[in-house]
Amino acid sequence: QVQLVESGGGLVQAGGSLRLSCSASGRISSYVMGWFRQAPGKEREFVAAISRSGGNTYYADSVKGRFTISRENPKNTVYLQLNILKPGDTAVYSCAATNRPTSWTMTSSYDYWGQGTQVTVSS
């Protein structure tokens, strides 16, 4: 079991960048890690995921080429680099962990969730 805590959110102008971090209380090396986001009035949506070793990544089409997911297993930390931010990226961003990844993009595949960090992009 792991507890996840996100940090790094904030207010940024369109075109700017942020780096989100997700720190875990336990070892994450056995977990596929994902980032999801939820905008006001919308359902939570998949953003990015990374394999246990970090060798494979997967992105939502809406963020491909702008966001980068990475992980440092020795530090039990996962990152999400957000570049070329748009107002449509405004949401609460949460990280999640699963050791039974039936689908990397489905929220139901993930067992552990952080509380999220707010990202607000102004135009």
CA dist., res. 20 & res. 5, Å (int): 10
pLDDT at position 42 is: 96
State mean pLDDT over 46-61.
97
pLDDT confidence tier of residue 49, bands split at 50, 70 and 90? very high
Q: What is the mean pLDDT of residues 87-108?
A: 94
Q: What is the largest CA-CA distance in the chain?
A: 40
Is the pLDDT reported for residue 12 higher than 80?
Answer: yes
**Average pLDDT of span 42-66:** 97
Calpha distance 116→94 (Å, rounded) = 4
Distance, in Å, from the CA atom of 102 to the CA atom of 90, rounded to the nearest integer, reads 28
Smallest Cα–Cα separation from 20: which of 34, 39, 2?
34
The bridge status of strand 57-59 relative to strand 4-7 is unpaired
Q: Is the predicted pLDDT of residue 83 greater than 90, yes or no? A: yes
Is the pLDDT at 110 greater than 90? The verdict is yes
pLDDT for residue 70: 98
Q: Is 41 left (phi over 0), alpha (psi -120 to 50) or beta?
A: left
Residue 101, pLDDT score: 74
pLDDT at residue 102 in the model:
82
Tokens of residue 122, six digits: 């102004």
Q: Do residues 11 and 104 lie in contact, with contact meaning Cβ atoms separated by under 8 Å?
A: no
- Write down the mean pLDDT value for the chain: 96
